[in-house]
């Protein structure tokens, strides 16, 4: 068994304290200890800036003289024809400089990321409440907002499908159905010892990034546009702005220094703001800033997809799966956006860590008249995983076993190690992770104690669950699995890195700096990672799919190795030594019997005309997928983990509290344990929020009514479990990734499923676990109370029948 690295707050705090006291002047900075060597905990590169308010976001950029502000008027109906639009009063409102409609777009109107269907401004038919139909540009933000209500728009309302059920009944789809099959699921289910069928509903989630959607467009002297954008995909912003303005991509630069959170919500949807601001800047030849108010942001941008699921399953007396027929339907909204990849990933992760045997998994993508839903941390994977975890719970109750026992019996194992889409699981570590956590969290002792507590308490019930995570790492669109980086080494020994990834708080820039520093054997204080810009890195992929470090880190290392090779080749000639005698370490370079500083070697190399800059490129190997057969190897590797959660519920009100959480998560060889633990903790809390308190709501007319912090509840510090233990499963990634690490952005979110499963376990205890009440996500107190009442009704019915 591999070692488990526990959460050590002292080491992280010590590193943080040392960095906090670091002098600002460069000649002092380079002398401080290297507190962020590979494999050691280190502070986030912008942490001090974050807490002191000096980190610059788009809205903090000083406005150039003449900067204008934008607002958008939205549709009042979910589905309607626009019969007439009178914008005269809007145009004449104080401070208003210009008003634009779709007719003012000089180039391409559609700004969809993959498939058509996302017009920048509605051209006559609206598809969701709040869909932009005109733009207002004014001298101030307030003046732009105040002009919006003055528009006079005449509509012809059309029938609208708001809910997933309405979308499925309507029959219109944004994408064709997708079916993944292995063997004969129907025959396997029919011949199994036991059969079950059921259904469930998994609601979506608002991104609730701290920095809202925003873009700032500056016209350039050569007829182009410079865009400061809060986007995870600057290359897509560049491409769409160029298409909207009908100019070449070489005239558009998109720049991202950092985002105040993204979570997938700024992968495709940020382009709408960038294109809108660029449109006005193009016409007026003045800078234009477009920032969405929080309420508009929540009403007009896509969210995590709701998913409904239905299943039939066959299994033996122990609960081992013989066959399954599972249908997953996503609430995609009015257009495809990124739904193909999201529904696909839900299908790919409908196994979680379990061998499904004979299987048919179907994905549906109906059209609804709500804003198009989009990427969100996990990208469909969490919904597929929650569906199978719910099913495993049902199977366990049917055979009278503890759910953990049934989970362990169904894990991938030798001889049963191939997914329903044809990929062999090369690293079978979930059994080891679960077994380790099962012991460290005292699962069985606590189960016995909880059973005793529940039998002696009528109105308070406890629940316990231990659930696994197996999450595939790679973009399911194979062409996106590429990264680029540009590395400059200066004659003073300092290093500047530009790469295609974007920083949204996850620590990507920090890890890139560590990797580059390690390549040259210098402290990370010598390395600066610059803003991501499309004029430095062309054709970049979005920072998504948890692949930011894998792709861009490897590309940066490849660039470093080219420069390092140049330096070694020069040193061999200049100092008359062998290549093996040139060693980079501790800010110095040993060349035979002598040692010189890294800066001195760079200076001498420059004087001898040695190239000290390089472009690095990386593409993920081994991955392929045939959509015609739905078989292949779409993921380079899998990140694994497990969480054990204990909850207590009030059977009279449905209120509950998460009392304890234990996590063991697989990050390969951790580049920076402090950052990885932070990602695990944050991902878990965000996943817990999705499945408990975050309740997305629309009214019958398609209006988002969970549109502010007053009526949409994300977790707070008070929701963090009092007993919260995070450990890192130590074991190098067997695949050749940077430092043999593993991605850590998305997988921890699914650890939150343990809380939902524990709540359902507590509800089932009301019926002594002989009945598993339905508990749709999010498990709000109202839904928990309904599940408790269903369990009580089952118990009372059983008593009356007896």
Separation CA 339–CA 631 (nearest Å) = 19
Length of the chain: 802
DSSP notation for 253-297: EEEES--S--TTTTTSTHHHHHHHHHHHHHHH-S-EEEE--HHHH
CA 480 to chain centre: 16
Two tokens, residue 625: 């997928």
Separation CA 600–CA 606 (nearest Å) = 10
Of the candidates 632, 360, 353, 365, the residue with the CA atom closest to the CA atom of residue 476: 632
Three-class DSSP category at 298: helix
* Helix locations, 156-199, DSSP H: 164-170, 185-191
Contact 484, 499 (CB under 8 A): yes
User: What is the phi/psi pair of residue 493, to 5°?
Assistant: 85, 5
Beta strands in 562-636 (DSSP E): 582-585, 588-591, 594-597, 613-619, 624-626, 631-633
Separation CA 679–CA 656 (nearest Å) = 25
Contact 390, 356 (CB under 8 A): no
> Measured between alpha carbons, how far is residue 62 from residues 101, 136, 159, 170 in Å?
29, 22, 46, 49
Contact 206, 299 (CB under 8 A): no
Beta bridge partners, 469, equal: 641
Separation CA 530–CA 697 (nearest Å) = 40
Is 735 assigned a catalytic role? Answer: no
Max alpha carbon distance in the chain (Å)?
95
CA 45 to chain centre: 21
Rg (CA), the chain: 28
Of the candidates 309, 321, 328, the residue with the CA atom closest to the CA atom of residue 179: 328
Residues contacting 220, CB < 8 A, separation 6+: 226, 251, 253
Two tokens, residue 613: 């800059």
Separation CA 161–CA 16 (nearest Å) = 52
Separation CA 238–CA 244 (nearest Å) = 10
Two tokens, residue 262: 């993204």
- Catalytic-labelled residue, pool 503, 646, 694, 746: 746
**173: number of CA atoms within 13 Å, CB side?**
12
Rounded to 10°, the helix 270-284/234-245 angle is 40
Three-class DSSP category at 570: helix
Strands 288-291 and 68-74: parallel
Separation CA 87–CA 85 (nearest Å) = 6
Q: Which residues are catalytic?
A: 746
């Amino acid at each position: 068994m591999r070692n488990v690295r526990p959460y050590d707050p002292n080491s992280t705090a010590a590193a943080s304290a040392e960095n906090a006291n670091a002098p600002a002047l460069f000649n002092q900075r380079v002398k401080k200890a290297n507190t962020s060597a590979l494999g050691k905990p280190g502070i986030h590169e912008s942490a001090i800036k974050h807490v002191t308010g000096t980190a610059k976001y788009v809205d903090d950029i000083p406005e150039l003289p003449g900067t204008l502000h934008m607002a958008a008027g939205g549709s009042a109906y979910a589905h309607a024809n626009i019969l007439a639009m009178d914008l005269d009063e809007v145009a004449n409102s104080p401070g208003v400089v210009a008003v634009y409609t779709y007719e003012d777009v000089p180039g391409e109107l559609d700004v969809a990321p993959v498939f058509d269907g996302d017009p920048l401004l509605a051209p006559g038919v609206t598809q969701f409440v709040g869909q932009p139909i005109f733009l207002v540009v004014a001298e101030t933000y307030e003046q732009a907002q105040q002009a919006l209500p003055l528009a006079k728009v005449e509509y012809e309302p059309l029938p609208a499908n708001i809910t997933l059920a309405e979308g499925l009944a309507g029959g219109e789809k944004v994408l064709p159905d997708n079916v993944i099959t292995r063997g004969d699921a129907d025959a396997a289910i029919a011949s199994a010892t036991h059969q079950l069928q059921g259904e469930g509903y998994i609601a979506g989630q608002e991104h609730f990034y701290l920095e809202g959607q925003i873009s700032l467009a500056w016209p350039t002297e050569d007829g182009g546009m410079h865009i400061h954008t809060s986007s995870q995909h600057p290359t897509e912003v560049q491409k769409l702005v160029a298409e909207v303005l009908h100019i070449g991509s070489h005239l558009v630069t998109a720049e991202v220094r950092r985002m105040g959170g993204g979570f997938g919500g700024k992968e495709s949807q940020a382009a709408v703001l960038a294109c809108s601001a660029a449109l006005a800047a193009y016409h007026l030849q003045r800078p234009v800033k477009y920032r969405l108010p929080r309420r508009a942001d929540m009403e007009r941008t896509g969210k995590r997809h709701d998913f409904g699921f239905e299943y039939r399953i066959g299994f033996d007396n122990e609960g081992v799966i013989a066959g399954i027929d599972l249908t997953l339907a996503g609430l995609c909204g009015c257009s495809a956006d990124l739904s193909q990849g999201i529904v696909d990933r839900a299908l790919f992760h409908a196994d979680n860590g379990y061998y499904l045997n004979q299987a048919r998994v179907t994905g549906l993508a109906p059209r609804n008249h709500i804003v198009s839903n989009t990427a969100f941390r996990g990208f469909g994977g969490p919904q597929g995983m929650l569906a199978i975890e719910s099913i495993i719970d049902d199977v366990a109750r049917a055979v009278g076993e503890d759910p953990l026992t049934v989970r362990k019996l169904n894990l991938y194992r030798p001889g049963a190690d191939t997914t329903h889409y044809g990929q062999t699981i090369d690293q079978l570590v979930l059994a080891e992770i679960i077994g380790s956590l099962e012991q460290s969290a005292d699962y069985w002792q606590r189960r016995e104690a909880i059973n005793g507590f529940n039998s002696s308490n009528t109105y308070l019930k406890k629940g316990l669950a231990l659930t696994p995570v197996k999450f595939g790492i790679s973009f399911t669109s194979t062409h996106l699995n590429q990264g680029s980086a540009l590395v400059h080494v200066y004659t003073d020994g300092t290093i500047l890195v530009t790469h295609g990834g974007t920083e949204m708080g996850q620590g990507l820039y920090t890890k890139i700096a560590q990797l580059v520093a390690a390549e040259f054997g210098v402290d990370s204080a010598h390395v600066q990672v610059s803003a991501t810009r499309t004029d430095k890195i062309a054709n970049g992929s979005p920072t998504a799919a948890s692949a930011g470090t894998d792709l861009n880190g490897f590309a940066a290392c490849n660039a470093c190795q080219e420069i390092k090779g140049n330096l070694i080749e020069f040193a061999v000639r200049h100092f008359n030594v062998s290549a093996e005698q040139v060693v980079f370490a501790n800010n110095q370079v040993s060349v035979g019997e002598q040692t010189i500083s890294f800066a001195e070697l760079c200076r001498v190399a420059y004087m001898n005309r040695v190239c000290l800059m390089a472009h690095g490129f990386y593409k993920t190997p081994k991955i392929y997928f045939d959509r015609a057969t739905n078989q292949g190897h779409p993921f380079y590797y899998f990140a694994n983990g497990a969480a054990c959660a204990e909850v207590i519920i009030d059977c009279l009100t449905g209120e509950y509290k998460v009392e304890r959480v234990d996590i063991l998560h697989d990050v390969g060889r951790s580049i920076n344990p402090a950052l990885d633990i932070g990602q695990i903790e944050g991902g878990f809390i965000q996943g817990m929020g999705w499945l408990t308190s975050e309740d997305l709501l629309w009214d019958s007319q398609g209006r988002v009514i969970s549109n502010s912090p007053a009526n949409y509840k994300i977790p707070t510090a008070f929701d963090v479990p009092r007993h919260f233990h995070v450990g890192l499963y130590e074991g190098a990634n067997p695949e050749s990734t940077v430092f043999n690490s593993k991605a850590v952005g998305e997988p921890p979110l699914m650890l939150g499923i343990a809380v939902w499963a524990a709540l359902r376990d507590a509800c089932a205890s009301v019926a002594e676990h002989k009945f598993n009440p339905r508990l749709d996500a999010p498990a709000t107190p109202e839904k928990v109370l309904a599940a408790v009442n269903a369990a009580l009704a089952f118990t009372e019915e059983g008593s009356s029948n007896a």
